Chains A and B, each alone.
Chain A
Amino acid sequence: MAIIKKSGKSLVPRNIEVMVIPFVLITVLIILSILVAKIGISKVNSQREKLAVAQKDETIFKQKQEILQEVQGEVLSLADLSASAVPNKNPALAVISQLKNLASSRSVVLSNLQVGSKSGTEKGMSKVDISFDVDGDFSSVLDFLQDTSKIAPISQIEKIEINQAVGVTRANTTLVSFWAPFPKKLPPLTEPAKDLSVEELSLIRSLSELTPPAFLEMTPSAPSAREDPFTF
């Protein structure tokens, strides 16, 4: 005011002087509004984005929890069933055991069993060839061969050569069985869980009709207390 007033008389015209305060107020208001709008809106937007992500994650977690709780009771048997169909190790032994059981139930004779002369990998799956001869009457041999598709681990017949002589049928068969390593890691926590689809459920139903192998895994028994052989 010292500048604009000199010896008690204002240097600024009165007309302008009365306009100063409203202009200053409006300028301050505009500056504040711009600042608040800039900072506030960006803050609100970032918080809203965070909230949207959090709510999406929450929905995923909730859905995952519900699915897991829903399948909790039955998933153990399903896991056993599916693992017996496609095991994580070479299933040759289990398949041979199944074939032998099948042969005795169909009254045919199994011979020349050979395993794995030609094994390979296909789309993440390993396969092993099992070849054998099966002797019996024509009908029983065909029944036996048909039944190979009803055993677990799942196997497929590559080729069959059937020869008949004097009422005895011999089928030289090559069968392929499959295995694949188990998945090593779980999907990320934020990945939505998928329940078993209708197609998967129908696959499970068809797997449940397969004859499981008589042995799956031999678990070592826990050490037991040894009795003293010298006490009578």
Chain B
Amino acid sequence: MAIDEGKLHEFLGRFVTDLGAVVAVGNVVIGHRLGLYRALASGPATPQELAQRTHTNPRYVAEWLRGQAAGGYVAYDAAADSYSMTEEQAFALASPTAPSTPPVRSCWPSALCGQSRGSPRPSAPVPAWAGTNRTRGRLHRLRAFLPPRLHRQPDPVLDSRAGRRRGQAAGRRHGRGHRLRARGVDNPARRNTRTRSSSARTITATRSNWRASGPPMLASPTGRSSRSPRHRRSPDPATTSPPPSTACMTWAIRSQPPGMSASPSSRTAPDWWSSPSRPTTKQAT
């Protein structure tokens, strides 16, 4: 069986492109959370200038910019040794209504950094990254790792005889529509008798129980102690937080004045490492 070398390379190229996209996600999140995209959208900059604008480590910013340019997320002017964003790139990545903002702000940071909330404010010191963890995230995220049986707790309205009758009369026995109908939501007189959804109450109760006695399933009556890693959490999210992402921590040097480097090794580094262009790099265009 002969392998067509052209087709093989084409396929490998596709794989490498996908791999590059996977790695790019982490850097996109970093760009969002540290404000690198927004700062670069305000005008062309060398890595040093962008690092000063965002109070970040210039060496990291240089590497980040090169990767962004390699992915076509920012434009690189080899003559001026500076990076910039086109109107389209700025709109897609840096504007407040950017289509990339919702996924970046809600999902990706959790998946990559173990943090779901707490975009650092421009003036925030490094500890702003600490103390945010998944348990303080949005409801749907918390719900996602609640044990399934806690999703459905006895509901005084739904489980009453009248509620069951109304639900059955509506022909549905499951789902939100069923619960709403069982409460008589379609009847204005009964509307707003319950302001919070059962899932929100469940989450609130779970969260307070959690603070008091640890993750819910760990204290399950069946005595099951081994659970899937997805459900394993620190016992008290209010006081203990997972170690913040090292990559993010070292990127931001907000507690220090711009220009100061966080690590002594980078202060003694030679000049060429911060040079934005490496003319003889193999991938140089």
Question: Are A and B associated in one complex?
Answer: no
